[in-house]
A and B are shown apart, each in its own frame.
Chain A
Amino acid sequence: MDKVADKQEREGSLNGVGCSRKRKEDARFIQGKGNYTDDIKMPGMLFADMVRSPYAHARIISINKEKALALPGVHAVITAEDLKPLNLHWMPTLAGDVQAVLADEKVHFQYQEVALVVADDRYIAADAIDLVEVEYEELPVLIDPHKAMTDDAPILREDLVGKMEGAHSSRKHNNHIFNWQAGEKESTDRVFDAAEVTVSQDMVYHRVHPCPLETCGCVASMDKINGKLTVYLTSQAPHVVRTVVSNLSGLPESSIRIVSPDIGGGFGNKVGIYPGYVASIVASIVLGVPVKWVEDRMENISTTAFARDYHMRGELAADSNGIIKGLRVNVLADHGAFDSCADPSKFPAGFMHICTGSYDIPVAHLNVDGVYTNKAPGGVSYRCSFRVTEAVYVIERTIDVLAQKLGIDKAEIRRRNFVKKEQFPYKTCLGFELDSGDYHTALEKVLDAVDYKGLRREQEEKRAKGELMGIGLVTFTEVVGAGPSKSCDILGVGMFDSAEIRVHPTGSVMARMGTITQGQGHQTTYAQIIASELGITSDEIAIEEGDTDTAPYGLGTYGSRSTPVGGAATAVAARKIKAKAKKIAAHLLEVSEDDLEWEVDRFKVKGVPGQEKTMKDIAWAAYNNVPDGMEPGLEAVDYYDPPNFTFPFGAYLCVVDIDKDTGVTDIRRFYALDDCGTRINPMIIDGQIHGGLTEGYAVAMGQEMPYDEEGNLLGNTLMDYFLPTFVETPKWETDYTVTPSPHHPIGAKGVAESPHVGSIPTFTSAMVDAFAHLDVTHMDMPHNAFRVWKQIKALGLLDN
């Protein structure tokens, strides 16, 4: 075999970066041997169920537990009164507020947690919650965030009366949480005053829920003999949970083990720390036996972790050629009853200031006010970095409005305003440094692929016939990989992440990370990174995550941070091992390190064929023959604090046909080009993109959490809440370009959220485009048939 073929074969056998390696995790899932939280069974385990408020705002007059306690098989009914002596009736939120664990004198939203019932099994627990008698006195309800700060608005948070300094800013009303601004107000206003053209568009980014198929749950087990608390929990951030539980319980972190077993989808739903977890842990500590609590679907949609609910105004100032001169964004953010946003940044509106998008905008101002309402608390990033979906939506919608006003094609206006390839790294006027990008190439590739001009011609013909066809276009830039600890922390812990790699004597590897997979395939892809770095086949590299007793501290998986941060830590830890391996190789080959070169899986002495040591040789030597003064073994740990975020981008195009009779939309075509930098596993990337697009489709076209005026959540089962099936889901076309991140060790940027972030405004862009010739500039989501039909009717387009 010649040298080149030999090298290629060795490279191929690594199953490293760039190959579509089949997933390591699949074997257990396809055989029903996954281990999800509700699959866990412990001796003596009891079941918990939650008594919840039917009212959105009410005072609790009394709680009578007697009938419930009298039911055979019921062990305890826990209320706020029981938690008070332990000072656990309220808990701190990740956003600097407090949240009631169990309602303390008042309920603030429908389905709020009022009492935890613990029983022998889930059937008895379900019967017992019906027997807990709670007397309420209803209070006036606040649902509309626009009315939150009026003089006659009801006072929601009595615990905050008189406390006008909030966690992020001073508060101007008792229902006000914070005001946050980025950019320069005065200079932006001046640009607007002097601009040739300005546009302004109001839009509601409606409240939605991530709704993974597995709901949230936990099994808490206090071992009183050994003083150790073990909690199996559906968490995207188990180490953070351990820190919070330690702070709440007073137990040292070394006495707490949090395990995230297999997770049935997260999408942001499983970042937060919910009352059910805390109450179950207390129950286990009090009763001394394991306690399982698992939400049902209604509880999941109603209480844990809504997303969005941003009421936005986007404004652009430009010249008559459509060159953008300034951006103003104003947001009223509905945070619900408690500010329990799972926001890992130091900014109260997360990364909303990425709202300058892919464009070279000289000046901008962003203003965000957060308010309380009688809705469920939460605020999570549903398959996106915190508030990035909102930011991308507002800029992509507003630039379309500008294009429409100026009569410029929406592809052309983007071309004119893109940050150019040679401008990277590019500092945005709101403070980010975009690491790399090639927006023009991405856009042109998409336009060519779909024959954009042909589509526009077809649209003209259809419009002439009175048919509704829309073409949506979005060129987004995300910010992911939270993040540099100067900008990001959770409860003061910096947003680094970690990897610990051990190379065993025979050259196989065990590696553990601080992140936690929820379907992204970490067991497969982290191994590919290590394989390429160390020249060990990925089939001999085992990856473990999610057990705080064994994994190094990490901040978890959300906001597309696993590859940008955890993946970076993995590469850097592997490089530490490789550096040591090189020393050992030099020792074994009796040459200087400078005489060595790396090739796939071995160090070779430059210019001396046959003089080489494979990583397997070196691993063995690391345990029996190391240079003098070197400690034996071959392992490394890296805690990686990224120097910057990464900025994946893409260009998406969507074609819709709308049935004028019914308002039903057919997604005829959706073309998604993503640039996530270096591609670790193309098969997995494609899968992530399909999934993200489908979730984006769900949000844009159907998901909603409407409340009536009494604060009742309408539609909290899967009858109403829109999870598209095989039948509704469009067929996706994917494409890519590769623009590596210059600061990431392997150039990767993260990918799984781009399709969600990018597709949602694309759908809206297409829907609006179908009506753009009738001077429609915006339509709020969800674009379900009913709402679209109302638009058709309002425009007088109905046949009768």
Chain B
Amino acid sequence: MAKQAVSFTLNGKTVDVLVEPRELLIHTLRENLNHTGAHIGCETSHCGVCTVDVDGESVKSCTLLTVQAAGSDVKSVEGMASADGLHVIQQAFVDEHGLQCGFCTPGMLMRAYRFLQENPDPSDEEIRWGMSGNLCRCTGYQNIIEAVKTAAKNLQQA
């Protein structure tokens, strides 16, 4: 199939790629644009390790065609930290030991980033429901919940 030119914004910068219509956004990010933070885990949109933010919503980038992202504002974990340092959520994951092997972490962080905008002061139960599209095999989630709560508190104080 003929390739198509697609432009979108990635972490605030415009990027232009040439892709087959069937190319999945996760592959474009990882292979074409060398943003390897988001990973591939299940490929059937169950695990969430490919989660990025597209136009203000958390999306599993293994189930979005790159051509569908044309004109979109895409944010990935690589854009979280700023010149001022780590994002509050990143720091909270370190402080609460919210990661182990690190494979789910970029997707988990991007989901937490959006979730805390949707719900700035969540209960444990709301965190469990709101983060339920992201699997982790290492942590048993308990410390991730602590990290999200800590991040919520610190974001509100900021």
B117 within 8 A of A: no
Q: With both chains docked as a complex, state the minimum distance between the C-beta of B45 and any C-beta of chain A, in angstroms.
A: 9
Q: With both chains docked as a complex, state the minimum distance between the C-beta of B19 and any C-beta of chain A, in angstroms.
A: 10
Task: Known contacts A32-B35, A214-B103; decide if A723 and B47 are in contact (CB<8 Å).
Answer: yes
Q: A594 vs B109: C-alpha distance in the bound complex, in angstroms?
A: 55
Residue of A nearest to B106 (CB): A32
Chain A proximity mask over B12-41: 1 for CB below 8 Å, otherwise 0:
000000001011000100110011111111
Contacts of A123 in B (CB 8 A): 20, 22-23
Quick one: which of A32, A690, A695, A719 contacts B37, CB cutoff 8 A?
A: A32
Task: Known contacts A26-B94, A684-B97; decide if A32 and B38 are in contact (CB<8 Å).
Answer: yes
Q: Which of A334-342, A513-521, A646-654 contacts B (4 or more CB under 8 A)?
A: A513-521
Could you pull out 21 A-B pairs where Cβ atoms are within 8 angstroms?
A22-B94, A26-B102, A27-B94, A30-B105, A32-B78, A38-B39, A38-B40, A39-B30, A121-B31, A123-B22, A213-B47, A213-B137, A296-B43, A519-B100, A688-B100, A695-B137, A718-B42, A718-B47, A725-B133, A727-B132, A729-B141
Q: With both chains docked as a complex, state the minimum distance between the C-beta of A124 and any C-beta of chain B, in angstroms.
A: 10
**Main SS at interface, chain A:** loop
Most B CB contacts (10 A, CB to CB) among A215, A263, A690, A695 go to A690
A-B contact sample (7 more), CB < 8 A, given A33-B37, A121-B31, A727-B132 = A26-B102, A29-B106, A36-B36, A122-B27, A213-B103, A687-B100, A726-B132
Decide: A297 and B76 in contact? CB cutoff 8 A.
Answer: no
Q: With both chains docked as a complex, state the minimum distance between the C-beta of B108 and any C-beta of chain A, in angstroms.
A: 10
Contacts of B38 in A (CB 8 A): 32
Contacts of B134 in A (CB 8 A): 725-726
Contacts of B22 in A (CB 8 A): 123
Quick one: which of B94, B103, B133 contacts A30, CB cutoff 8 A?
A: B94
Contacts of B140 in A (CB 8 A): 690-694, 729, 732
Contacts of B23 in A (CB 8 A): 123
**Shortest beta-carbon contacts, A-B, top 4:** A32-B37, A29-B102, A264-B103, A519-B101
A211 within 8 A of B: yes
Chain A proximity mask over B119-158: 1 for CB below 8 Å, otherwise 0:
0000000011101111111111111110000000000000
B10 within 8 A of A: no
A472 within 8 A of B: no
Q: A719 vs B42: C-alpha distance in the bound complex, in angstroms?
A: 9
Q: A726 vs B90: C-alpha distance in the bound complex, in angstroms?
A: 19
B67 within 8 A of A: no
Decide: B127 and A726 in contact? CB cutoff 8 A.
Answer: yes
Contacts of B77 in A (CB 8 A): 30-32
Decide: A719 and B39 in contact? CB cutoff 8 A.
Answer: no
Quick one: which of B104, B127, B142 contacts A213, CB cutoff 8 A?
A: B104
Contacts of B46 in A (CB 8 A): 717-719, 723
Residues of chain B in range 30-76 having any CB-CB distance to chain A below 8 Å: 30-31, 34-44, 46-47, 49, 76
A34 within 8 A of B: yes
Contacts of B131 in A (CB 8 A): 726
Quick one: which of B93, B101, B127, B141 contacts A214, CB cutoff 8 A?
A: B101
Contacts of A41 in B (CB 8 A): 31, 34
B86 within 8 A of A: yes
Decide: A691 and B137 in contact? CB cutoff 8 A.
Answer: yes
Contacts of A688 in B (CB 8 A): 100
B80 within 8 A of A: yes
Task: Known contacts A123-B23, A732-B142; decide if A265 and B135 are in contact (CB<8 Å).
Answer: no
Q: A27 vs B91: C-alpha distance in the bound complex, in angstroms?
A: 9
Q: With both chains docked as a complex, state the minimum distance between the C-beta of A563 and any C-beta of chain B, in angstroms.
A: 15
A190 within 8 A of B: no
A25 within 8 A of B: yes
